Structure 1
Amino acid sequence: MRRLIAALLCWFAFGLPAHAQDANLLQHVLDELGSHTSVRAAFTQSRENPALTQPQFSRGELLFVVGHGMLWQVTEPYRESIALTGARTLRIDEQGQLQSVRGGDRGVAQVSQMLQSMLSGKPDDALRQFAVEAQGTPAHWTLRFTPRQERMARVLRRIELDGDQFLQGISVELASGESTTIRFAHTRDAGPLSALEKRALDVPR
């Protein structure tokens, strides 16, 4: 889960592209992402590391609600449900009880806030650490992020996002050779939330 959060952190810290065509496509992407106030999707995560003989896989379900946060439900190879909001991180046990996750709360809260900004179509203008290359069309786009700062480039090689009306995938390549790929499927507007989902994300009932 920590590695998934670390990958997601990379979504947000980017600057505006240099070319007007890129800027127009990027703005369209942000507008489209921001038009969906609540989204559900299945996700599959694959992590490759030169030190490992085989990739590591996990899969599950994601719920995102603008202004409230995310609910990550890992189903394979283990089961875990984590609610990330701007103010707290909660683990949901098998009985549906919410338990506060201690340690690193401040960092996780910052990640959650950044993710909400990105998926709301409102990235923080202050986070201009990446050069952005936008390719494709509004119906099928790709955004490639390259670190501007040498210090970050020594750790992170690049990030690539792709999608249509929804975000469909993210790929993160580290300078060490490690890579993480997250693919989303069956992405759709969330529809009604369950009582537990509302409670976990502090959505009014």
Structure 2
Amino acid sequence: MALLLLFASPLTLAFTLEDLKNQLSQPAVVTGPFIQEKHLRALPQPLQSKGRFVLARDHGLLWLLQTPLRQDYRITAKGIARRDLSGWQTLPSTSAATEQNRLFFAVLQGDSSGLQRDFDLDLTGEPQHWQLRLTPRSLLLKQVFTHIDISGARFVERIELHETQGDRTLLRMPESTSAESLDDAERNDFAE
């Protein structure tokens, strides 16, 4: 009987896509710094930008770029808005931008059902150290990406997009924290 339990237990302890989705969608708010590097074949050094992000499960994403220039973006189900001196301005919506928004939200929230429509998913690891590889299924995505690697623990910590022409984008979010609710400034940004 003990031998049977020994062999059965690894199957019951497997970390699944549903487990990952539950883990990543649990916090109401996730915030932290980000570092984005764009590695272009034509340049010897990557282009780097830094900032903060706020992912609110019920509202959307604030992407607050601080260097090399200051630029704030708000990404919600309604689309993308950029802040200027007069407030938030909605950017023209294109089908490509809409798809990118949907993909980005699905990645950060671990929405495997949203991702499975366009990608083959391969999850390895455990709750505190997991890796997810997305391999495109659709012809359109295959023209852009060879694959996307995502890894993390309690939150997404790293996203690496490998493009077909050899460029890649690395996004690191190493110090994310969770909160029960938005602060006043964040709430105002989503309300406008």
Shift of 1:101: 3.0
Gap regions ≥5 residues in structure 1: 1-19
Is the contact made by 1:39 and 1:188 (CA closer than 8 Å) also made in structure 2?
A: yes
Deviation digits for residues 151-200 of structure 1 (CA, Å, limit 9, x no counterpart):
53343111000000111010010110000000002210135534332122
Is residue 135 from structure 1 mapped to residue 96 from structure 2 by the alignment? Answer: no
Which residue of structure 2 aligns with residue 162 of structure 1?
Answer: 151
Label 1:116 to 1:130 Cα distance change in 2 as closer, same or farther (>3 A).
closer
Distance 1:123 1:81 in 2: 28
Q: Judge conservation of contact 1:142–1:163 (CA < 8 Å) in 2.
A: yes
Structure 2 gap segments, 5+ residues each:
1-10
* Of 159, 172, 175, the match for 2:161: 172
Mapping for residues 61-140 of structure 1, pairs under 5 Å? 61-93=52-84, 97-104=86-93, 108-109=97-98, 111-125=100-114, 127-140=116-129
- RMSD of Structure 2 on Structure 1 (CA): 2.7
* Equivalent residue, structure 1, for 2:8: none
Q: TM-score, normalised by structure 2?
A: 0.80
Distance in 2, Cα, partners of 1:146 & 1:194 = 37
Query: Which structure exhibits the higher relative contact order, with contacts defined as CA atoms closer than 8 Å and separated by 6 or more residues?
Result: 1
Report runs of 4+ in structure 1 exceeding 6 Å deviation: none
Change (3 A) 1:81 1:151: closer
CA distance in 1, matches of 2:140, 2:55: 32
Do the aligned residues in 1 keep the contact of 2:121 with 2:133 (CA within 8 Å)?
yes
The equivalent of 1:4 in structure 2 is none
Identity of aligned residues (%): 25
What is the distance in 1 between the residues matched to 2:139 and 2:126? 31
Quote the Cα distance in structure 2 between the aligned partners of 1:121 and 1:127.
Answer: 11
What amino acid sits opposite 2:37 in the alignment? S
SS at structure 1 position matched to 2:148 = strand
Distance 1:178 1:170, change over 3 A: same
Deviations 1:23-46 (A, max 9, x none): 842221111001111110110001
Q: Counterpart of 2:24 in structure 1: which amino acid?
A: L
Q: Please report how far the alpha carbon of residue 60 of structure 1 lies from its aligned counterpart in structure 2 after TM superposition.
A: 0.4
Q: CA deviation at 1:108?
A: 4.1
Equivalent residue pairs, number: 181
SS of the equivalent of 1:168 reads strand
Q: Distance in 1 between matches of 2:82 and 2:116?
A: 29
Q: TM-score, normalised by structure 1?
A: 0.76
Q: 1:178 to 1:168 in 2, by over 3 A?
A: same
Q: Would you say 1:45 and 2:45 are equivalent positions?
A: no
Q: Structure 2 counterpart of 1:45, which letter?
A: Q
